[in-house]
Amino acid sequence: MKNIILTGDRPTGKLHIGHYVGSLKNRVKLQNEGNYEKMYIMIADAQALTDNSGNPQKVRDNIITVMLDYLSIGLDPEKVTFFIQSEVRALPEITAYYMNLVTLPRLLRNPTVKSEITMRGYDSESKGIPVGFANYPISQAADITAFDANIIPVGDDQLPMIEQAREIVRSFNGTYNKEVLIMPEPKLPDNEACLRLPGLDGNAKMSKSLNNCIYLSDDSKTVKEKVFSMYTDPNHIKVEDPGKVEGNMVFTYLDAFSSDEDFKKYYPEFNNLDELKKAYSNGGIGDMRIKKFLYEVIEELLTPIREKRKEYINKIPYIVEALEKGTKEANEKADEVLDRIKDALGIRYFNKEFIEEQTKRFNEEN
């Protein structure tokens, strides 16, 4: 079987280096390996509106913000079909049919949805849960299945969404007794440290409001300030003191970002991260030194990204054209799959089969 890759992001802000190791890096790798029939990346503006209904301008502004992040890391509109979710009309229609296959308690049991409900205060008396928000895992199942996607490169926070999509595929194919929908598989990063990168301050979540992330679009000076303010080991006071590696954000980040090449280039006293960790634990390595190294490692990643961004920032018309072209292709594909879904449900009426079938039925009755 030929692979169809699909993934996407909500356009609610700039992407950060947690997004990069969690999913974006994998996308570039998959793109360059070329082992696919089609690779789609969707800007999930309709999903973004499920918890930003009062702020559509934010969603609108971040379409290009997110596209610039995509293009500057090396995703290429010649190889990837970029499209905008809300411009694919088949998606809400497919969502509507899937809504009959999922119970309300099942939706609210979704761990990602649950934590988002708490985070957004939807469990408070004054707010309540918007129906569209509770429903977004079903809509995400439509996003995935409408393109016959079998590989979904995502961060591990999205696993409950893929699981929900898999349940819907099983239920749909089971109920309508046909191999109509393709079963999707998540594709996570190989490096465990990349699964869930914490904030610079050690907080489990990176977020704009906590101001604890490094953005792909940050300049050198900002990156330097952020790295040098990172949380390390509070008991590692003097350089000679033994230091703790576990829970030390500099090492957590080095686990995710550094390579042996980086050591050769920026820290030749050590061959690899294991050696540095050992030395740090024994004492004698200052926090400034490891922060300097991490800063260099991150700069190694971000420098070419910044170069590419400069190129694309002057090409907004090109970006919009690429999105328009991709969205047209996406519509063609999703319309096809919608027809297949309606066929399976038996709700296509304006054809010879339906007329003959019903004529026969009523003839037999007489």
Binding site for ligand TRP (CB under 6 A): 6-10, 42, 44, 47, 140, 143-144, 152, 154, 158, 161
**Which tokens hold the place of 302?**
């971000």
Question: What is the smallest separation between the CB atom of 42 and ligand TRP, expressed in angstroms?
Answer: 6
Nearer to ligand TRP by C-beta: 63 or 279? 63
Nearer to ligand TRP by C-beta: 154 or 273? 154
Cα angle for residues 73, 74, 79 (degrees, 5° grid): 140
Determine what percent of the chain falls in helix, strand and coil, rounding each to the nearest 5. 60, 5, 35
Question: What is the smallest separation between the CB atom of 293 and ligand TRP, expressed in angstroms?
Answer: 31
Nearer to ligand TRP by C-beta: 189 or 243? 189
Nearer to ligand TRP by C-beta: 117 or 297? 117
Question: What is the smallest separation between the CB atom of 331 and ligand TRP, expressed in angstroms?
Answer: 16
Which residue in the shown chain puts its C-beta closest to ligand TRP?
44
Sign of torsion over alpha carbons 115, 121, 123, 128? negative
**Which tokens hold the place of 219?**
């300049």
Kind of pairing, strands 151-153 and 81-84?
unpaired
Q: How far apart are CA 362 and CA 351, in angstroms?
A: 17
Nearer to ligand TRP by C-beta: 249 or 330? 330
Nearer to ligand TRP by C-beta: 19 or 236? 19
Q: How far apart are CA 177 and CA 180, in angstroms?
A: 9
Q: How far apart are CA 163 and CA 347, in angstroms?
A: 27
Q: Are the CB atoms for 61 and 301 separated by under 8 Å?
A: no
Question: What is the smallest separation between the CB atom of 177 and ligand TRP, expressed in angstroms?
Answer: 26
Question: What is the smallest separation between the CB atom of 303 and ligand TRP, expressed in angstroms?
Answer: 26
Question: What is the smallest separation between the CB atom of 135 and ligand TRP, expressed in angstroms?
Answer: 13
Question: What is the smallest separation between the CB atom of 279 and ligand TRP, expressed in angstroms?
Answer: 38
Cα 36 to the center of its chain, rounded Å:
19
- Helix crossing, 90-98 with 136-145: angle to 10°? 120
Nearer to ligand TRP by C-beta: 7 or 135? 7
Residue found under tokens 């390595």: 285
- Helix crossing, 287-313 with 249-257: angle to 10°? 50
Nearest to 8 by CA among 29, 39, 36, 38: 39
Q: From the DSSP assignment, how many helices (H) and strands (E) are in the chain?
A: 17, 5
Q: Are the CB atoms for 338 and 94 separated by under 8 Å?
A: yes
Nearer to ligand TRP by C-beta: 10 or 291? 10
Question: What is the smallest separation between the CB atom of 199 and ligand TRP, expressed in angstroms?
Answer: 17
